Amino acid sequence: MTVKKGDFVELEFVGKIKETGEIFDTTDPKIAKDAGILKKNTVYRPLVVVVGKGQLIPGVDEALIGMKENEEKSIEVPPEKGFGKRDPKLVKLIPITELRKRGIKPKVGMRVTIDNAVGRIVNITGGRVRIDFNHPLAGKHLKLDLKVKKIIKDDKEKIKGIISMYYPNAKLEDINVEIKDGTVSIEVDDTFKFDNRPHSNITLTQARIAKEIWDNIEGVKRVEFISAFEKTKAKSTT
Amino acid sequence: MTVKKGDFVELEFVGKIKETGEIFDTTDPKIAKDAGILKKNTVYRPLVVVVGKGQLIPGVDEALIGMKENEEKSIEVPPEKGFGKRDPKLVKLIPITELRKRGIKPKVGMRVTIDNAVGRIVNITGGRVRIDFNHPLAGKHLKLDLKVKKIIKDDKEKIKGIISMYYPNAKLEDINVEIKDGTVSIEVDDTFKFDNRPHSNITLTQARIAKEIWDNIEGVKRVEFISAFEKTKAKSTT
């Protein structure tokens, strides 16, 4: 059984910049730690992806097709199949006063968000700040070690995988998924219940998860998110 | 059939201060408008209450017992069965500098919240501000015209009534309630979905609604809030 477009897979990877060998991302906490890029408060586990749907850079999406479960593969990815070529027009000169107005004290190397675009300060000269809004990996040739940990066949597992795309730290074992007559019911756990973002944001995230589910799982017409309260449990907390 | 403790009733009322005849609250939008107390963005409809559970001032809770459906009654309520006696200790002198520190520019008659207590500024003299933290109706004798519009017997209606206690403006006709094997399922409408408060607050409100339901409706063990997304609907919005 090999990976086809639309398959759900558990993917393990190590991503390096070809030129320098620098590791920019990985699913392996040990490698991340050794590379000095271990993220705090982050659950490290294989990434669940739907293959060939643009969730990954094109080079990886293509490489996965035809791989077997537990197969490993090392690939090289040029910029055009990675994070794109560098666009010189995305390097902008902005007056320092403009940044100060926005409460930013510019320093070289600092990441700044201006009009929803994220950039990195390249240099500061004569009252002007040069900011590079290209993706940090744009223009880079990459080397990736890939492993298809699993091809997911079970619909409940696929759904949990989709949830993990939006909630990377979710305790998937505590989320109860039921499928019946085209309706998917997802009972969320306390991590979700005590999310402090505005409720309307949660609704939008839920709508995206729902769309991802019916776009990728045959026969689903309705997705329900359930927040449940049990009599005995509630008594113990009041 | 008369009202007993624990019954759910739809209550209409007009509340006046006995001394002045001033109307302080009512479920009737016409009377509210004439009295100059009509609240904007507020749905006026009978109040759903569980009788004898302290949801109302004691005088009203007592008066409702034994009333029939559609019966009207006018009662007088002394402070001790209303909003309590005035407590002189709740009138406090606070240095004007203390208020300024909190960003408050005091004016006589202004309502201020200090350490979660709401008070009214009575006067300002010699750099000190006198604030009355008593309930505005404390110490008042009240006159109330009550009407038991309905004694609610249907559990789904009771549940919608409980929801309306926490969401006074909810479109109850758009909320879908199911009861099965001790589980109450409440499917919320878009008003709830796009609430902008932190999601954790919504969870706490849901927990309170759940408790109110199993405390007042026989046999309920579990309450679920469902946020549902339908394939066709979602497509039209993306």
Parse chain A into domains and list their residue ranges: 1-84+139-153, 88-132, 154-238
pLDDT in tens, B124-154: 998 899 999 999 999 999 999 999 999 999 9
pLDDT at B191 over 80: no
CATH 3.40.50.720 fits B88-132, yes or no: no
pLDDT of residue B238: 42
Range A97-110 average pLDDT: 89
CA distance A184 to A222: 6
Mean pLDDT, rounded, for A22-44? 93
Say what the pLDDT of residue A194 is.
Answer: 83
CB contact under 8 A, B227 and A206: yes
B211 vs A contacts (CB less than 8 Å): 229, 234, 238
pLDDT of A237 strictly over 50: no
Residues of B with Cβ-Cβ distance to A212 under 8 angstroms: none
- Would you place residue B237 in the very low, low, confident or very high pLDDT band (cuts 50, 70, 90)? very low
The answer, yes or no, to whether residue A5 has pLDDT greater than 90, is: yes
Residues 71-90 of B with CB under 8 A from A: none
Residue A177, min C-alpha distance to chain B (Å): 14
Tell me what pLDDT residue A153 has: 95
The predicted-structure confidence for B2-53, as pLDDT tens digits, reads as follows 999 999 999 999 999 999 999 999 999 999 999 999 998 888 999 999 999 9
- What is the model's pLDDT at position B161? 94
3-class DSSP string for chain B: CECCCCCEEEEEEEEEECCCCCEEEECCHHHHHHCCCCCCCCCCCCEEEECCCCCCCHHHHHHHCCCECCCEEEEEECHHHCCCCCCHHHEEEEEHHHHHHCCCCCCCCCEEEECCEEEEEEEEECCEEEEECCCCCCCCCEEEEEEEEEEECCHHHHHHHHHHHHCCCCCHHHCEEEEECCEEEEECCHHHHCCCCEHHHHHHHHHHHHHHHHHHCCCCCEEEEEEEEEHHHHHHHC
Residues of chain A with Cβ-Cβ distance to B188 below 8 Å are none
Report whether pLDDT(B105) > 70.
Answer: yes
Average pLDDT, chain A: 92
What pLDDT sits at residue A238? 42
Domain B1-84+139-153 has CATH 3.10.50.40: yes
A-chain CB neighbours of B195 within 8 Å are 198-200
What's the confidence (pLDDT) of residue B21?
95
A223 → chain B, closest CA residue: B229
Q: Does A205 touch chain B (CB under 8 A)?
A: no
Q: Does A39 touch chain B (CB under 8 A)?
A: no
CATH of A154-238, one of 3.20.20.140, 3.30.70.2210, 3.60.90.10, 3.30.56.10: 3.30.70.2210
pLDDT for A23: 96
CA distances (Å), origin A28, targets A7, A48, A59, A74: 22, 14, 20, 16
Does residue A156 or residue B233 have the better pLDDT?
A156
Chain B neighbors of A211, CB-CB under 8 A: 229, 234, 238
Query: How, if at all, do strands A142-152 and A176-180 pair?
Result: unpaired
| pLDDT category of residue B234 using cuts at 50, 70 and 90 | very low
Confidence at B205, pLDDT banded by 50, 70, 90: very high
Nearest CB to B195; choose among A196, A200, A223: A200
Instruction: Quick: pLDDT tens for A109-157.
Output: 999 988 888 999 999 998 899 999 999 999 999 999 999 999 999 999 9
For the CA atoms of chain B, what is the radius of gyration? 21
**Interface-testing mutation among B162, B195, B227, with chain A (most A C-beta atoms within 10 A):** B227
Q: Which range (A161-175, B52-66, B119-133) has the least confidence?
A: A161-175
pLDDT computed for residue B194 by the predictor? 83
Q: Which residues of B touch A228 (CB under 8 A)?
A: 222-225
Residue A236 pLDDT grade (very low, low, confident, very high; cuts 50, 70, 90): very low
* Residue B207 touches chain A, beta carbons under 8 Å: yes
Residue B37 has what pLDDT?
A: 94
Cβ-defined contact of A198 to B193 (cutoff 8 Å): no
Residue A234 has pLDDT above 60, yes or no: no
pLDDT of residue A154: 95
Nearest-CB residue to B227 (from A195, A225, A231): A225
Which residue, A71, A89, A54, is CA-closest to A11? A71
Mutate to test the interface with A, among B190, B203, B216, B232 (most CBs of A within 10 A): B203
Taking CA atoms, A4 is separated from B117, B170, B174, in Å, by 63, 47, 43
Can you tell me the ipTM of this complex? 0.75
Q: Do B207 and A225 touch (CB under 8 A)?
A: no
For the record, the structure tokens of B15 come out as 């509340």
Q: How confident is the model at residue A235 (pLDDT cuts 50, 70, 90)?
A: very low
Higher-scoring residue by pLDDT: A236, B125: B125
Whether B236 has a pLDDT exceeding 50, the answer reads no
What average pLDDT does the structure give for chain B?
92
Q: B126 near B165, Cβ under 8 Å?
A: no
* Over residues B76-98, mean pLDDT: 94
Is B227 in Cβ contact with A203 (below 8 Å)? Answer: yes
Residue B158 has pLDDT above 80, yes or no: yes
